């Protein structure tokens, strides 16, 4: 099987290589391939060529890493002779997976030049010129757009010429984006129109629209200066008297109408119509069976009877109601019912309340086979207040090569209130027959500040997390190695408490309106434990054990600080092609009441979301090498974590995606522990101990989840440095058992 796999990979590489040697294979003889299309500003380095590329009507084929036209090469692997059924199928697949060559077009080049000139004018470069430099070689065109920007125009005077008092006042306030001396820019002028419009609509002017504002610009001859004037659009003056009155009238909300459990396939059932009054005497009407308590709906809405209409209230209501678990769809509309009144109609469609999922997987590492299974249940409206109950269970069993086995079972329950406050409890049982049995009980309270409209941050606070780790049984050999001896790791295998607090901040530039735009994500997490308990123990002069640690009910508590940072960038070339970059760094430091970080809080390397040439917890720390036994398995944990990943994703069809990846990283210990030789972090050594792996993967988009299979191969194994066999290539050779692994997982790795 390994031989066949190697042969297939070699043939595929050769096919792509030879296709890449002839990028004009499917370019007509009388045409040329657009090999490169670049933009260069010859006299102003502040002009952004990358932003101007959006105005080109013709660009070269998609490039990976800025030079490799992989999709074009795949397209060119199609056989020219399609007379047989098999060759025709091969051609269809290559053309579907690849990208057709971009044929150079003089007409599109001319249109691109016009677009570039127009955009330069929009940015204040009224005297800019655009030329091209074209080099043709072997039916390939390298095209450069040469922009001469010249001196930009600046705003000399800014005049607000609006008779309406409220509009005039907003246009002249301190938030104005247009000011004397700034470089002329139509995008800034457009932002100012949006600012004024939004401010007007937030003050109750329901009928005010952005199109009602216009700018005029007059340039002074030879001065490179522009006089800018904002005024009402001419068509506003021709509106009838009623429309003009509505335009400058502030509207307030008369009544609130909720249509609950909306189904477009049926008409509203008047039998469910209810008119009610709140404690302030405000009337609310309800149509349909309420699947949410009315106080939850009112609390989620920022729209109230008697309030002045405001755009921000509508946006906030959309965000809060869509965040409710049982809500599938929300629509908010307004109907005028008088000179200055609006009726607010909120339509809510119910989504799926119950969901259940199950997963089954297999593992194989260093000769050890294992299976794992899990089940998850969610009720998104358990008490009819959008409370979300989640129940999950997972169990795994692994057969050891030495005749032993490893068993682990976990059960967890969580209750989420109003999409912000969560309470959870969990129980975890671990059995290592040759070493120990461990039980972990956890309870926590979390608070989340959800991401709001027009913001990129989400904040999560783990207000209290209490864990109790209990080891009821331990083998004599294991006890001698870690407990009876003065090993600094023994704290990880004794009963202990963890009382911690943490903060996680998530940032994302992803925009649902523009899903094909590249975007950035990063997460920052800070965690501390034991500080309050240590301060109280010190003040009360409580009892210390033989290791000098304060104890709580005769059990020591952990004290440490931990920080994690992860950043991911999705470079999207097209709806089918993207390159994902990921970098992660984590550090955990024990202090005062602890000599080591608890095992549950330490880092591990390898696995489906890490360095995929290794199974989880089988890499590191440093050059430390495991043997596959459970005892070593538990030792492969560290206090410093570093990983970097590069993954290319290509969507073949709607539900199938292929991937190629390169992973690098490792873990290390803060201190030089006797039981983990070679694991300590050293500035002059750590870069030599980076593990590398590569591989390919398949992703299946099953609508509700992404099922992933990754095949990872070791490239650089730091545990073999002492042998001189760290590079897992010829002449060392690859071994199926030691250097390759499969991963089955749910969701993307990052």
* pLDDT tens-digit readout, 561-573: 999 999 999 998 8
The set of long-range contacts for 479-484, using a CB threshold of 8 Å and a minimum separation of 24, is: 481/631, 481/675, 482/675
Residue 605 near residue 614 (C-beta atoms within 8 A): yes
How far, in Å, CA of 228 to CA of 106, rounded? 37
Q: What is the pLDDT of residues 10-22, one digit of tens each?
A: 444 444 444 445 7
Tokens representing 379 are 């009720």
pLDDT recorded at residue 735: 79
Reply yes or no on whether the pLDDT at 332 is more than 90. Answer: yes
Which of 419-423, 644-648, 723-727, 734-738 tops mean pLDDT? 644-648
Q: Is 431 exposed, middle or buried (0-12, 13-18, 19+ CB in 10 A)?
A: middle
Of 191-205, 210-224, 258-272, where does the model show the most confidence?
Answer: 191-205
Nearest Cα neighbor of 259 from 311, 329, 336, 340 is 329
> What is the SS3 assignment for 193?
helix
User: Is 70 exceeded by the pLDDT of residue 458?
Assistant: yes
% of the chain residues with pLDDT over 70: 89
83: left (phi over 0), alpha (psi -120 to 50) or beta: alpha
Give the CA diameter of the chain: 95
Least confident of 139-148, 329-338, 732-741: 732-741
Three-state secondary structure call for residue 85: helix
Q: What is the pLDDT of residues 576-594, one digit of tens each?
A: 889 999 999 999 999 999 8
**pLDDT mean over 434-446:** 91
Give the whole-angstrom CA distance, residue 33 versus residue 62: 13
Residue 148 — very low, low, confident or very high, per pLDDT cuts 50/70/90?
very high
In this predicted structure, what is the pLDDT of residue 3? 44
List the structure tokens of 396. Answer: 């795994």
Q: Average of pLDDT values for 37-59?
A: 90
Contacts for 722-728: CB closer than 8 Å, 24+ residues apart: 722/623
Q: Are 666 and 620 in contact (CB under 8 A)?
A: yes
**How far is Cα 493 from Cα 600, in angstroms, rounded to an integer?**
10
Q: Kindly state the average pLDDT of the residues 131-140.
A: 94
Compute the average pLDDT of residues 508-528.
89
Structure tokens at 481: 């190695």
Among candidate residues 134, 128, 227, the one with its CA nearest the CA of residue 178: 227
pLDDT value at residue 670: 93
Question: SS3 of 721, please?
Answer: helix
Q: Provide the mean pLDDT of the chain.
A: 86
> What pLDDT shows up at residue 410?
96
**Cβ(650)–Cβ(598) under 8 Å?**
no
Q: What percent of the chain has pLDDT over 90?
A: 53
Residue 421 CB: number of other CB atoms within 10 A?
14
> CA 434, CA 411: separation in Å to the nearest integer?
24
For residues 138 and 576, the model is more confident at 138
Reduced to 3 states (helix: H, G, I; strand: E, B; else coil), residue 113 is helix
Beta bridge partners of 417: 421
The H or E element that residue 313 is part of is: helix 311-322
pTM metric for this prediction: 0.70
CB 101 within 8 A of CB 24: yes
Return d(Cα 520, Cα 33) in angstroms, integer. 33
Pair of tokens at residue 457: 């941050």
Q: Which domains does the chain have, with CATH numbers?
A: 2-148 (3.10.20.310), 154-247 (3.10.20.310), 252-350 (3.10.20.310), 602-750 (2.40.160.50)
User: Residue 585, Cβ neighbours under 10 Å: how many?
Assistant: 15
Q: How far apart are CA 131 and CA 117, in angstroms?
A: 10
Report the 3 state secondary structure along 363-395: EEECCEEEEEEEEEEEECCCCCCCCEEEEEEEE
Contacts of 387 (CB under 8 A, 6+ apart): 381, 415, 416, 417, 418
What's the average model confidence in pLDDT over 278-304?
74
Give yes or no for a contact between 372 and 395, defined as CB atoms under 8 angstroms apart: yes
DSSP letter for 438, please: E
Give SS3 for 183: strand
Residue identified by tokens 């073949």 is 652
Q: Is the pLDDT of residue 272 over 60?
A: no
> Looking at residue 731, what is its pLDDT?
63
Residue ranges with strand state E in 554-598: 555-556, 560-574, 577-590
Region 201-224: what's the mean pLDDT?
A: 91
The string of pLDDT tens digits covering residues 374-406 is 999 999 999 988 999 999 999 988 887 666 788
- Parallel, antiparallel or unpaired: strands 140-148 and 129-137: antiparallel
Q: In whole angstroms, give the CA distance from residue 562 to residue 294.
A: 43
Q: Looking at the predicted structure, is the pLDDT value of residue 279 above 70? A: no
- Weakest mean pLDDT among 182-196, 434-448, 484-498, 618-632: 484-498
The helix or strand, by DSSP H or E, that contains position 155, with its residue range, turns out to be: strand 154-161
Report the C-alpha dihedral over residues 17, 20, 22, 24, rounded to 10 degrees: 160
**Mean pLDDT across the stretch 464-480?**
87
Q: How high is the pLDDT of residue 276? A: 58
- For 703, phi and psi rounded to 5 degrees? 75, -60
Q: Higher pLDDT residue, 705 or 488?
A: 705
């Amino acid at each position: 099987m390994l031989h066949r796999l190697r042969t297939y990979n070699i043939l595929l590489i050769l096919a792509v290589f030879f296709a890449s040697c002839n990028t004009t294979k499917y370019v007509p003889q009388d045409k040329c391939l657009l090999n490169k299309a670049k933009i260069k500003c010859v006299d102003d380095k502040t002009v952004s060529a990358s932003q101007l590329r959006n105005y080109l009507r013709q660009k070269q084929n998609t490039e990976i890493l800025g030079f490799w036209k992989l999709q074009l090469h795949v397209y060119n692997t199609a056989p020219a002779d399609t007379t047989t059924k098999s060759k025709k199928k091969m051609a269809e697949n290559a053309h579907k997976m690849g990208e057709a060559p971009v044929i150079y077009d003089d007409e599109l080049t001319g249109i691109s030049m016009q677009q570039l000139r127009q955009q330069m004018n929009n940015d204040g470069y009224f005297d800019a010129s655009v030329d091209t430099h074209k080099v043709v070689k072997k039916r390939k065109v390298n095209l450069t757009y040469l922009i001469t920007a010249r001196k930009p125009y600046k705003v000399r005077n800014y005049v607000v010429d609006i008779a309406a008092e409220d509009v005039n006042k907003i246009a002249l306030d301190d938030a104005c984006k247009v000011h004397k001396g700034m470089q002329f820019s139509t995008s800034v002028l457009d932002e100012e129109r949006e600012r004024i419009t939004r401010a007007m609509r937030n003050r109750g002017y329901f009928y005010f629209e952005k199109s009602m504002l216009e700018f005029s610009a007059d340039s002074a001859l030879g001065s490179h200066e522009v006089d800018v004037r904002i005024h009402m659009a001419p068509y506003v003056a021709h509106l009838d008297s009623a429309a003009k009155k509505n335009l400058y009238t502030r509207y307030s909300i008369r009544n609130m109408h909720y249509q609950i459990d909306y189904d477009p396939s049926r008409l509203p059932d008047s039998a469910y119509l209810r008119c009610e009054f709140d404690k302030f005497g405000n009337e609310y009407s309800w149509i349909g069976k309420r699947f949410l308590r009315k106080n939850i709906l009112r609390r989620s809405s920022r729209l109230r009877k008697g309030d002045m209409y405001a755009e921000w209230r509508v946006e906030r209501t959309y965000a809060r109601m869509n965040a409710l678990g049982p809500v599938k769809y929300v629509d908010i509309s307004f109907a005028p019912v008088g000179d200055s009144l609006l009726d607010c109609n909120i339509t809510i469609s119910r989504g799926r309340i119950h969901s259940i999922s199950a997963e089954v997987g297999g593992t194989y590492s260093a000769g050890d086979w294992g299976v794992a299974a899990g089940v998850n249940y969610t009720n998104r409206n358990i008490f009819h207040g959008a409370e979300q109950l989640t129940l999950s269970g997972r169990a795994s069993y692994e057969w050891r090569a030495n005749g032993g086995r490893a068993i682990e079972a976990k059960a967890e329950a969580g209750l989420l209130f109003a999409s912000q406050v969560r309470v959870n409890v969990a129980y975890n049982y671990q059995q290592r027959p040759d070493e120990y049995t461990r039980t972990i009980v956890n309870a926590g309270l979390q608070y989340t500040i959800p991401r709001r409209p027009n913001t990129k941050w989400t904040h999560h606070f783990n207000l209290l997390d209490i864990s109790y780790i209990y080891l009821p049984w331990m083998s004599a050999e294991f006890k001698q190695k870690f407990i009876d001896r003065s090993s600094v790791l023994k704290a990880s295998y004794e009963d202990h408490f963890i009382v911690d607090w943490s903060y996680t901040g998530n940032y994302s530039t992803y925009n649902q309106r523009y899903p094909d735009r590249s975007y950035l994500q990063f997460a920052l997490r800070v965690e501390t434990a034991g500080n309050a308990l240590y301060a109280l123990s010190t003040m009360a002069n409580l009892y210390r054990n033989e290791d000098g640690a304060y104890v709580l009910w005769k059990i020591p508590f952990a004290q440490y600080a931990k920080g994690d940072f992860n950043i991911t960038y999705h470079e999207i070339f097209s709806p089918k092609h993207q390159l994902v970059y990921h970098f992660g760094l984590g550090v955990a430091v024990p202090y005062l009441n602890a000599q080591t970080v608890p095992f549950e809080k330490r880092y591990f390397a390898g696995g489906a979301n890490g360095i995929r040439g290794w199974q989880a917890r089988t890499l590191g720390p440093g050059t430390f090498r495991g043997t596959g036994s459970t005892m070593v398995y538990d030792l492969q944990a560290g206090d410093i974590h570093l990983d970097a990943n590069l993954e290319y994703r290509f969507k073949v069809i709607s539900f199938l995606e292929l991937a190629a990846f390169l992973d690098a990283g490792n873990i290390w210990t803060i201190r030089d522990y006797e039981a983990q030789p070679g694991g300590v972090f050293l500035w002059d050594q750590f870069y030599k101990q980076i593990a590398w792996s590569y591989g390919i993967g398949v992703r299946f988009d099953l609508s509700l989840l992404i099922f992933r299979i990754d095949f990872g191969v070791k490239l650089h194994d730091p545990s073999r440095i002492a042998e001189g066999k760290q590079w897992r290539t010829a002449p060392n050779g690859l071994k199926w058992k030691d250097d390759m692994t499969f991963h089955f997982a749910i969701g993307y790795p990052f």
